[in-house]
Amino acid sequence: MNEQQQADMAAATRLTREGRLAEATAIIQRSLGSPPGTEVPPTASPAVTQPQHPPRRQPGGEAAALLGRFNRGGASDRSPHALGPARQNNPIRARIPDLLRRLAHTAPHADETAAARPGGQFLQRSYTNAAGTRAYKLYIPTGYRGQEVPLIVMLHGGTQTADDFAAGTRMNELAERDTFLVAYPEQDRAANPRGYWNWFQPTDQHKGVGEPSLIAGITRQIMTTHSIDDRRVYVAGLSAGGAMAAIMAATYPELYAAVGVHSGLPYGAAHDLPSAFAAMNQGPPPGAGPAVDGVPLIVFHGDQDRLVAAINADHLAQQALQAITMAVRSQPARHRATTTSGQVPDGHAYTQTTYHDAAGDTIVEHWTIHQAGHAWSGGSPHGSYTDPQGPDASAELVRFFRTHRTRP
């Protein structure tokens, strides 16, 4: 199987485990209908979260072999016509229901068990407004007794789910350690068939409309139903979720005290699919994203990311510094930068650049993970699109968030 088909198998596995068989079937049908190496059609969302290497968690055994046999051309399907539309008549296609059953039995129960492991409550909730409905998972740690605590909103990447993202980032374990709530909004497959947040759509880049209104609504709903310190609410995301996190910070700066973007893109980087692919490959166009009320930023990016160019992290940092400068016009626009290097034992080296304002407070942290691709740094192999050999991005996010609160 090629990388896209491996990712499709992982997505189909997650949907099967969740009982969403129609969606899993649709993904497998798309995978079986495209020869190896076929690009994502332009009507699909940008493949922002596909890594350069296979996902670390793969469906095992006969199910993967069955799909692999189809993609190579099985014994009953070796004619030249098998590479074109005639694939639709391939007998293996009729075995999709059997493939789904095999996925359900052979794939590890990684998403749900890993996400729930810390011992708190992991609740299924939803929020609805004029823009639609989005489901979300909410982790409540055992140390929560109704006291005011922080809230972190985590936005997954494409093809991922709330359970998968929780497992890969281990954020629930950190919530158990430090007592804060974690929300995982989940993209609706009706809004995007492959589960990408629509960060490149103009209708999803503004306050009060589209997906930003839904994510902000989820945030405020939790602030209403639980005791949340409204000065310690944060948002972070991976890839397409990272791009959407940047949009949330730009459109709702009064709501979020700090933002974390991992392998994402800056606000205003694109306005349609062609410009999205251009930004992913080359960075955003000059002047992308008007400066707004500044929100402190921590950004992570692998310098070998071939799907979202690392130059996007540079633009994110510059955009944040510009916005923060405009937000504090009464103070001198001086930023002091310090750079340190490190090495994960038996893992990746990294460079961390920290920007301080005139008062000495940290306003931007920029982490470059050397020789790393498009994956959550330091994440768990129980989740998809993670790189356990990198520095622990989740722990660094929590540390950075802990030092920031919204201005009074």
Per-residue pLDDT of the chain (408 residues; tens, 9 = 90+): 555 555 666 666 655 555 555 556 656 655 555 333 333 333 344 444 433 333 343 333 333 443 333 333 333 333 322 223 333 444 445 555 555 544 443 333 444 555 556 789 999 999 999 999 999 999 999 999 999 999 999 999 999 999 999 999 999 999 999 999 999 999 999 999 999 999 999 999 999 999 999 999 999 999 999 999 999 999 999 999 999 999 999 999 999 999 999 999 999 999 999 999 999 999 998 877 655 567 999 999 999 999 999 999 999 998 888 877 665 544 545 678 899 999 999 999 999 999 998 778 889 999 999 999 999 999 999 999 999 999 999 999 999 999 999 877
Q: DSSP label at 120? A: S
Please provide the DSSP assignment of 218-239 as one string.
HHHHHHHHTTEEEEEEEEEEET
Question: Rounded to whole angstroms, how far apart are CA atoms 312 and 166?
Answer: 25
Among residues 325, 161, 164, 148, the alpha carbon closest in space to that of 233 is found at 148
Fill in the amino acid letter for 139. Answer: Y
Domain ranges of the chain: 3-39+60-106, 110-402
User: What pLDDT does residue 9 have?
Assistant: 66
Query: Thinking of the domain 110-402, which architecture would CATH place it in?
Result: 3-Layer(aba) Sandwich (3.40)
- Please, are residues 239 and 386 in contact by the beta-carbon 8 Å criterion? no
Q: What is the pTM of this model?
A: 0.75
For residue 357, what are its two tokens?
A: 């304002």
- Please, are residues 304 and 389 in contact by the beta-carbon 8 Å criterion? no
- Please, are residues 362 and 391 in contact by the beta-carbon 8 Å criterion? no
Question: Rounded to whole angstroms, how far apart are CA atoms 288 and 332?
Answer: 24
Query: CA of 370: how far to CAs of 175, 266, 341, 387, 391, in Å?
Result: 28, 21, 10, 12, 10
Q: DSSP label at 320? A: H
What is the number of residues in the chain? 408
For residue 312, what are its two tokens?
A: 């996007």
Local structure of 313: helix, strand or coil: helix
Question: Rounded to whole angstroms, how far apart are CA atoms 151 and 223?
Answer: 8
